[in-house]
Amino acid sequence: MVRHAILQLKPEKGRIGRNLEHLQQALLGLRDEGVDVAVVPEAYPTGYFLQGGVRELALEAAELEDRLGRWHAAHYREPLDLVIGFYERDGGSYYNAAAYLELGGRGLVHLHRKIFLPTYGVFDEERFLDRGHELASFATRFGRAALLICEDFWHTVTATTVALQGAEIIYVPSASPARGFGGDAPANVERWATLARAVSGEHGLYVALASLVGSEAGKLMSGGSLIAGPEGEVLARAPEFEEAVLLADVDPGRIPPVRYDNPMLADLKAGLPLLFPELRRLVEEL
């Protein structure tokens, strides 16, 4: 079993030091819980709605790794894997990024830069950020994983791609403003749950969603973080609109028998060459 903690946290806009301290306090509270992997939402160190403030508040990946690594060395004996969303500065480029860090071990294991930048409604990402261009699964201490950030996950082709690359769990840092209040939960929260169940059930893998809470720029972040299992079931779900720590055990050993009984991914691999001509034609027409 791999114990996961989804940290559904509320950042203070632009207060990087305070937000990292808040994260560190939450991690200290987990030292006796046997947590192997902690997952933190999109853009947590600064808050999500920064617009032009990204230029002055974005962090280099190495800087974030160093700050969290030095803190971990002072407070932990065992390694701790951490998934964290942040605004990244790389030279003169700025990205909405997520890092997989093995604190007390290899350090930065993988960096994903958000591919789909929403620029509609209340969102304005592409005005201030560069688009990522790479999508890859990667090896962790506990198996193969992948990172997708918020809207990346809403385009199911991304999850299909990393599943074909061998991902057994997809980590999804998110910042999702609440909308649609006619049901028991906001419509976006229910949509996230529907997507997580569909992706995990189709590909026989786990999905771990960590969503921001709090109020930013007049928008209320919804929360509703969750972990979905390889049969398309929600294993654990956090409440909306409040900070929470969601603990759940992930069993990679469940994946092979689930995929044997429901070989959707194997069928996709077998049929994918039949789709290549049409996919190539569509790309050429873009």
Q: Average pLDDT over the chain, rounded to whole? A: 96
pLDDT over threshold 90, residue 257 = yes
- Decide if 170 contacts 208 (C-beta within 8 A): yes
Q: Which domains does the chain have, with CATH numbers?
A: 2-285 (3.60.110.10)
- Contacts for 46 with CB less than 8 Å, ≥ 6 apart: 11, 13, 14, 16, 19, 53, 57, 58, 86, 87
What percent of the chain has pLDDT above 90? 90
Please check whether residue 266 is in contact with residue 258, taking contact to mean a CB–CB distance below 8 angstroms.
Answer: no
CA atoms within 13 A on the CB side of 89: 12
In tens, the pLDDT along 74-127 reads: 999 999 999 999 999 999 999 999 999 999 999 999 999 999 999 998 899 999
pLDDT tens, residue by residue, 126-151:
999 999 999 999 999 999 999 999 99
Rg from Cα positions in the chain: 18
Q: Which two tokens stand for residue 166?
A: 């061998």
pLDDT at residue number 184? 82
Tell me, yes or no, if the pTM score tops 0.85.
yes
User: Mean per-residue pLDDT for 152-169?
Assistant: 97
Q: Using a pLDDT cut of 70, give the percent of the chain over it.
A: 100
285 membership: H or E segment, kind and range: helix 264-285
| Number of residues in the chain | 286
Q: If residue 219 lies in a helix (H) or strand (E), which one and from where to where?
A: strand 219-222
Query: What are residue 173's DSSP bridge partners?
Result: 210
Give just the sign of the alpha carbon dihedral 229, 168, 177, 190: negative
Block residue for tokens 């604190």 = 103
How confident is the model over 32-83, as pLDDT tens digits?
A: 999 999 999 999 999 999 999 999 999 999 999 999 999 999 999 999 999 9
Q: Do residues 216 and 47 lie in contact, with contact meaning Cβ atoms separated by under 8 Å? A: yes
pLDDT of residue 275: 86
